[in-house]
Amino acid sequence: MNQIDVDPELETLAVNTIRCIAMDAPHKAKSGHQGTAMALAPLAHVLFTRILRYSAEHPGWFNRDRFILSAGHASILQYAMLHLTGSALTLDDIKNFRQWDSLTPGHPEVGHTPGVEVTTGPLGQGFANAVGMAISERWMRDKYGSDKIDHRIYAICGDGDLSEGISHEAASLAAQQKLGRLICVYDDNHVTIDGPTELALQDDTAKRFEAYGWDVIDIGESGEDLDEIEKALKRAGENEEAPSLIIIRTHIGFPSPTLTDAPSAHGYAFKDSEIADVKSVMGFPSTEPFYIPEEVNAFYCKAGSRYNEEAVSTMWNPESELGNWDLDTVKKEYESQIGEAVATRVASGVCLNAIASDLAVIAGGADLTGNTGTALKENLPLSAQNPSGQQLFFGVREHAMGAIMNGIALHGGIVPVGGTFLVFSDYMRPAIRLAALTQAKVIYSFTHDSVGVGEDGPTHQPIEQIMALRAIPGLTVIRPADAKETVAAWMTALNHDGPTALILSRQSLPIMDETNVEKAQNGQYTIREHDAPEATLIATGSEVSLCLEYADKHPVRVISMPSWELATSSELYLDRTIPSVSVEAGITLGWSQFADAHVGIDRFGASAPGNEVMHKLGISLQAIQDAITQ
């Protein structure tokens, strides 16, 4: 029912149509990457006409196969297929490639272009996203049944993807998890921007992936053989025990008489004369850009509609199965423990465990699961033997963890939670940035949030990391002052349709009478008022209790500001008629928008007990006094 008749001559014409679009759209834009899309046209043709289960008319059909172009610079290849198979992407959209407000940006963007699953371009990210999607597919299939979930994840990656370190991390975990529904096609074209890959790369990719535990299928010089490509994809699809890597030797820029295998073909190399030469080889009119033969258009539209009926009859929204969460019990528990000391990482773990049994959550840490409050009690590890387990051990793989979380979230139906020490957020920053760019609903548990870490010293003591995270547009950063504000942080994160970074303490912090779960969700609120304050103290995290201690003996107002992002979007109360001082154990850069003077740390830390390091580096009552008087 879902097969279409195959006419070899028509298929050749169809593949060459893709190649023409791959040249014409970047040429009109005078920008873009042509050669890779040209070389991969046969693979894309086979995927979209013989392999992928999708409905161009219903791109949101949940049980569709997922297609990820990790080599996102070849975006015109994906756009060509989306248009040709009948999606909402028009020929005018193709002609507006890389233009302002077009649906065809330079690299694929999820949520912007119908049919695009993830945002790719930074190499290796899409590869790791695919691992996350494969985890999601298997998790949901095991939990909800194959009548609702039964699909595969396909990704195209290139030399750049597999050179980046994130691919090593993600590939290793994918094999350990035995993700049999994950199929990656490696475009082995031997070309990088600098020149041949041999300039910097001598890896034996097949052996590398075999060593991980992948099923490697090397079809060599079969990049133009549609039947061999189909055979390899189907063989990979039959392996339920291991992820598959299909290696295809392609020739960038093919079938150009002059630019095939040329490094320049990676970018914008095909202009008027070069395009005319290629079109002449393929028998296409050189004076008619964006020419699509009628029979090719009909053929692809038929391919894109093969699963329309199934898509309509099996529409299902996994959000209905996501579950509910309730933190009222935890809230009341901490409200009854005023004066007790609890590390916010511990309180965060309590919140996570309170919701995990009722909410579709996958949680874990980068070899720091217990340390980061991401350990789930009474839950078996997620594995091939227990595919719907909620505890995912990411191993020492921060960068892959971040990108895999993005894949889990963008697949839909699951909220991923991942933890590591705040200082190591640097290792996963590219993935965090993409989470913000795509508004993926992920929750980061970043613990050991200050020099209060202590004896581990400056390598493990974050200084600039909180501010670096605040600098990312679209990322909500929350540093709670105590256990109650931690509950508020979790409520905010769970209600937020985007990424949230929880910044949590290693050391125990007093649960304060003045903090308030409801008000903390506004991002800032006054927790100590004074009739005639001499100054306003604005603090986050562990420094809030220090400011209250100062306020016990001095006429000051104290504001807790757990989140800049939430504060600036709410009615921010700041009385600038009196001096204001920010107090945070990190760099002071950026605080000038809220305060006149600053208590912070603008140097790296040191190895010593946490309290001593804090005091020595100026997080103290005296430092607050000095800032006010100066």
Residue 571 confidence (pLDDT): 62
Query: What are 590's two structure tokens?
Result: 């950026």
Q: What is the dihedral of CA 190, 193, 198, 202, to 10 degrees?
A: -80
Residue 323 confidence (pLDDT): 81
Domains of the chain, residue spans: 12-313, 321-510, 522-629
What is the average pLDDT across 247-262? 97
Correct CATH for 12-313 of 3.40.50.970, 3.30.70.270, 3.40.50.720, 1.10.10.60: 3.40.50.970
- Distance, first Cα to last Cα, the chain: 79
Segment 279-321, tens digit of pLDDT: 999 999 999 999 999 999 999 999 999 999 999 999 988 877 7
Residue 214 confidence (pLDDT): 98
Q: Is 398 a catalytic residue?
A: yes
* pTM (predicted TM-score): 0.97
Q: Domain 321-510, CATH 3.90.550.10 — does that match?
A: no
Listing DSSP states for 452-495 in one string gives GG-TT-TTTS-SSHHHHHHTSTT-EEE--SSHHHHHHHHHHHHH
Q: Is 70 exceeded by the pLDDT of residue 1?
A: no
Segment 434-462, tens digit of pLDDT: 999 999 999 999 999 999 999 999 999 99
Among 112-121, 372-381, 501-510, the minimum mean pLDDT is found in 372-381
Segment 536-555, tens digit of pLDDT: 999 999 999 999 999 999 99
Segment 180-237, tens digit of pLDDT: 999 999 999 999 999 999 999 999 999 999 999 999 999 999 999 999 999 999 999 9
12-313 and 522-629 share one CATH topology? yes
Residue 526 confidence (pLDDT): 95
Q: Which residues pair with 191 in a beta bridge?
A: 196
Catalytic residue among 398, 485, 514, 565: 398
Residue 56 confidence (pLDDT): 97
What is the average pLDDT across 229-246? 97
CA distance 343 to 447: 10
What is the average pLDDT across 413-432? 98
Residue 573 confidence (pLDDT): 63
Residue 6 confidence (pLDDT): 79
* Whether the Cβ atoms of residue 279 and residue 256 lie closer than 8 Å to each other: no
Residue 136 confidence (pLDDT): 98
Correct CATH for 522-629 of 3.40.50.10610, 3.40.50.920, 3.30.1280.10, 2.30.29.30: 3.40.50.920
Segment 458-503, tens digit of pLDDT: 999 999 999 999 999 999 999 999 999 999 999 999 999 999 999 9
Residue 132 confidence (pLDDT): 98
Segment 572-612, tens digit of pLDDT: 667 778 999 999 999 999 999 999 999 999 999 999 999 99
Residue 583 confidence (pLDDT): 98
* Whether the Cβ atoms of residue 413 and residue 319 lie closer than 8 Å to each other: yes
Q: What is the mean pLDDT of the chain?
A: 96
- Spatial neighbors of 493 by CB under 8 A, at least 6 apart, are 443, 476, 478, 500, 502
